[in-house]
Amino acid sequence: MSEEVVIYTDGACKGNPGPGGWGALLVYKGVERELWGGEADTTNNRMELSAAIQSLASLTRSCRVKLVTDSEYVMRGMQEWLPNWKKRGWKTAARQPVKNADLWQQLDEQVNRHQVEWQWVRGHTGHPGNERADQLANRGVSELGSR
């Protein structure tokens, strides 16, 4: 594991719930790859999670990854909440089922394939990688009707 892959992810939703999209920009040794997709009826949080899952799943071998997100939900989930959810059988501290547990489990599976460092950036502040991921997420929404 030498070179690091930098991944910028974002999710978008028109209405919450509503039509949503996810986008990811992967950068490896100066080469860029764009990924995006969408769902007709979803939430912003599900799209943020999907962006991280799909981008990590697209890596064909174990990599060192810096995953840059503007989602505090994804960051805090991975860094703070996930270990306790797993200990409690995917229940919150209030013993309620964890929202989006299906996606959290998929993300956990993908993260375990790689060496992931998480980095949070404030959204919509002109951060180039984050802006590109946002454009891709919106593309995921706009292409829903054209499939």
Q: How many CB atoms lie within 10 A of CB 144?
A: 15
Asked if residue 134 belongs to a known ligand binding site, the reply is yes
**E-state strands within the chain:** 4-13, 18-28, 31-42, 64-69, 115-120
Q: What span, in angstroms and rounded, lies between the C-alpha atoms of 40 and 142? A: 10
Asked if residue 131 belongs to a known ligand binding site, the reply is no
Identified catalytic residue from 21, 37, 114, 134:
134
Q: Is 70 labeled as catalytic in the residue annotation? A: yes
Q: Is 30 labeled as catalytic in the residue annotation? A: no
Identified catalytic residue from 11, 37, 129, 140:
11
Identified catalytic residue from 20, 48, 114, 129:
48
- Cα 135 to its chain centre, rounded Å, is 14
Asked if residue 108 belongs to a known ligand binding site, the reply is no
Q: Is 102 labeled as catalytic in the residue annotation? A: no
Identified catalytic residue from 23, 37, 39, 70:
70
Q: Is 11 labeled as catalytic in the residue annotation? A: yes
